Structure 1
Amino acid sequence: MARWGEGDPRWIVEQRADATNVNNWHWTERDATAWSTDKLKELFLAVSVEGEEGRCEVTEVDRLEGEASINNRKGKLIFFYEWDVKLNWTGISPSGVKYKGYVEIPNLSDENDPSEVEVRVSLGKDQPDTALTDLMRRSGAHRIREAVAEYISTLRTEFTQGMILPTQNGAPHTAETEAKQKPAPPPAQKKVEKCQNTGVKIPTCKVRMTETFLTSPEELYRVLTRQELVQGFTHAPATVMADKGGKFHLLGGNVSGEFIELECEKRIVMSWRFKTWPAGHHATITLTFTEKRGETELQMEARGVPQSEEQHMRDGWKRYYFDGIKQTFGYGALLL
């Protein structure tokens, strides 16, 4: 395992002098967030079900937060999407009584097959019990998963048109052609396929780490957002602009990114990358501060870490962030 700052040079993509990216062979990325937002709203608002209990339909997309993108690396399409969804639904009983409720999809992501997507159906506050809730939980949830499946299918075909991939003999073809030619895996093999780097699943992973510091959330937050303090625990030059949209460069430029969200003493969300990762690829890191009896528990979750870098990421955060902070400021651990 290479140390931070000594990455495998094969990850580095040198730019051609003529600025040509032949057949999109180098890492290219297309943002699918805006397109996905419109597509998901269209599909969800078309959901309606009927039964003996009456009729239900999705009437509003109350919350749709997340992101989606497609990357092309050496002829392979890599899809990333993660959404937090809340829908409003309305039901009408056979007698004409109207009811209102909610549908929540807490984690619509590339890690789950559409059939595995969690769909939570609830009735609105102060609404009397009704059999329409069971109708939505049964048939409504099924229709919502069908809408999710259609979104994923369309994302992989319609939105990817123009992202040209190289074939084995060098002749380019489109992502749509590849999707049509590639046979669908049999149902029994779906979970196996999800664990393989087949080119249609993101070769990334989530990294979660938890560390306890003998200090307050206020002090730990300052350590992670003040430039002079960051330089102190990393023992290297750093640039830190701790504002929403502010950039940071740590460890002499080996680590860089941007602050997405800052909630003082509670939460930091940032776009984060190590310089030896494929060009343009960032992980999303969320740091959550929790006070526990005079100590601070720091939870780190990183989404979009290249699978080959998982252990590298864990080792680097442990050594340069967690142990570095404790050793420099005396927040708990005695490093021998």
Structure 2
Amino acid sequence: MSCLHKYWLKEFFKFFSIIQLLILVLFVFIDYLSRMERFLNSDISLIGALGYVVLKVPFMFVQLTPASILLATITVFGLMNRSNELLAIKSSGISLYFLVKPALLVGVIFAMLMFFLGETIIPVTMTKSNYIKYNVIKKRHDIYSAKKDIWIKSKNKLVHINFYDPANQILAGVTITSLGENFRIESRIDAKKGYFKQENWVFENIIEQIHAKDSMDYDVKSYDEKIIPLTFKPEDLGEITKKSEEMSFFELKKYVTKVEEEGYDATTYKVDLNGKIAFPFICIIMVLTGAATGMRSFAKDNIPVAIAIGVVISFMYWVMYGFCLSMGYGTILPPVISAWTANLFFLALSALYLINTE
């Protein structure tokens, strides 16, 4: 590795560490203070609440890394541009692309680091964090989730949901058991599908068994569609269901296979599965975009403008990436395409941006 590459890497990691540390510290303080009232109204101690916030730091590190890489890259190249170091390198007959090599190396390293964290630390910390959130802070003891199965106590009803699609807010394989005095079963409803409409749960393909008085028999009825009053809403289920970030890539892949084998729609999780590979790739895009921005002539005189442009580019990526994922969740785009479209678009854009800079 040349001295020039070592110098660039040293400057990059210095600014990246400062930016990333500053953002993470701000996140911890803001998240902790913004939830203070909720912490005080729960059974958790203030030290335990701080631990709950810290558990989310690995996840936030991965989410914030691309933006920090972009800002650090712009800053390093911008300062080299201001001090005429880039001009001196170019005058010596060395292409500016020579400095892009360590930037690409950084992008690849951070992409692998993000994937590694997503496979090891993040599933553990997010599972623990969500457990504290729903069972200690929000005290949701009436809803219990184990992988895809959900158990809910709703007044005198015990509800079992075999599968919940959080993107489309659809229930599948629902069993509702109504209990009477001494926990005797009064009725049982089995529904193939359910959805939330106009503040009510509507179920389809229903078989209802009602216990006949003074008898051990049950009256059986069937309905194509029926509204059944329940106390929980889709957001309650969304909070308690197993999140994709709580699973590693291979665990999520195994989960998708199991869901599909049981005949349920796993589109949401298939999109997230492809996103686990696609998202770390953004690091390479950010270093290319940051290098092209920092090398521009306007960055020499006004680095804050270059940083602002970097922030705008990062924001545009997040908007497009989120939009494409939403189209994947809605089955408008295949899972693979929805996860990779933003990456391919911005990779081509950043490459053209960098070539035009030279």
For normalisation by structure 1, the TM-score amounts to 0.29
Q: Of the two structures, which has the highest relative contact order with CA contacts closer than 8 Å and spacing of 6 or more?
A: 2
For normalisation by structure 2, the TM-score amounts to 0.28
Structure with the higher strand share, 1 or 2: 1
Structure with the higher helix share, 1 or 2: 2
